[in-house]
C-alpha cells in the first residue's frame, strides 16, 4: 500500500528553510513570502511548511508523466516538466504547488480543459489496484479570476479509508495556464492552504 500511495502522489504533482532572500527560477523568496516574476503574484509560505526544491519537483513530475503518458490523446501536449513557480509542504501528503505554462495554440476552452484533466486523472487512477476514487468539478471566482477546479478523493479499496484528497485549481493568465494544487489528509490542512491561496489573489 505504501508503494501504491507513492505512485498516485507522483501522478498528482530536497527541501530547505527560507532564508532572508532566495532567488528561484521564476521569482524570489523574501522572508516567508514568494514573489513571482512571471506575473503580479505573491504568496506567503505558512509557518511549519518547507519549500519544495525545483529538482525534487521535476523528478516527481517526470515519474507522474511516465505513469500517465499512455492516456494522453495525440492531439494534446502534456509537458514532462511544467514551469514550476513555488511549492511548500508539511510532508508528502500535505502541501501546495503552483506552475505557469503556455496554454498553447489550441482553441480548447477552460471548460474543455477542466474535463480533459478530469478524464486523464480518471483513466490513470482506474489502472491502479487497491484504490477507489471519486471526483467533483466546480468553478469559483477568487479575486479577479475564475478558476476551474478538479477535486479528487482517493480511498483504500479494502477499508474505504480516505487516503488523500487533491484539489487542482486552474485559470488562464493572458496566454498562460496558472495551475495550483493542494494535497491534504485533513480538512484543517486544506482550509489553511486554501485560505492562504485565496489571500494571495485578493
Question: How many domains, the chain?
Answer: 1
Distance (Å, whole) CA 119 – CA 121: 5
Check which CATH number belongs to the domain holding 63 and give it. 3.40.1000.10
Domain that holds residue 37: 2-201
Kindly report the number of other CB atoms within 10 A of residue 61's CB atom: 21
Tell whether pTM > 0.85. no
CB 40 within 8 A of CB 85: no
The average confidence (pLDDT) of the chain is: 81
Q: Can you give the pLDDT at residue 179? A: 94
Residue showing cell 501504491: 4
Q: Can you give the pLDDT at residue 151? A: 97
Q: Can you give the pLDDT at residue 155? A: 96
**CA 99 vs CA 41, 70, 118, 127, 131: distances in Å:** 12, 23, 18, 26, 28
pLDDT > 80? residue 149: yes
Q: Can you give the pLDDT at residue 4? A: 57
pLDDT band at 92 (very low <50, low <70, confident <90, very high): confident
Quote the longest CA-to-CA distance of the chain: 47
Could you give phi then psi for residue 163, rounded to 5 degrees?
A: -90, -45
| Nearest 10 degrees: Cα torsion 58, 64, 67, 73 | -90
Amino acid at each position: 500500500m505504501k508503494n501504491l500511495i507513492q505512485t498516485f502522489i507522483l501522478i498528482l504533482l530536497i527541501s530547505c528553510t527560507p532564508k532572508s532572500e532566495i532567488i528561484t527560477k521564476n521569482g524570489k523568496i523574501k522572508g516567508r513570502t514568494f514573489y513571482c516574476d512571471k506575473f503580479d503574484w505573491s504568496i506567503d509560505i505558512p509557518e511549519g511548511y518547507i519549500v519544495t526544491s525545483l529538482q525534487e519537483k521535476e523528478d516527481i513530475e517526470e515519474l507522474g508523466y511516465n505513469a500517465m503518458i499512455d492516456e494522453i490523446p495525440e492531439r494534446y501536449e502534456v509537458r514532462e516538466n511544467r514551469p514550476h513557480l513555488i511549492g511548500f509542504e508539511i510532508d508528502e501528503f500535505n502541501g501546495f504547488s503552483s506552475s505557469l505554462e503556455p496554454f498553447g495554440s489550441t482553441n480548447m476552452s477552460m471548460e474543455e480543459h477542466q474535463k480533459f484533466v478530469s478524464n486523464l486523472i480518471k483513466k490513470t487512477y482506474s489502472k491502479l489496484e487497491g484504490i477507489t476514487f471519486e471526483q467533483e468539478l466546480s468553478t469559483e471566482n477568487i479575486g479577479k479570476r475564475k478558476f476551474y477546479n478538479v477535486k479528487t478523493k482517493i480511498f483504500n479499496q479494502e477499508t474505504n479509508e480516505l487516503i488523500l484528497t487533491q484539489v487542482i485549481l486552474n485559470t488562464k493568465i493572458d496566454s498562460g495556464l496558472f495551475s495550483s494544487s493542494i494535497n491534504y489528509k485533513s480538512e484543517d490542512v486544506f482550509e489553511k492552504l486554501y485560505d492562504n491561496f485565496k489571500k494571495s489573489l485578493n
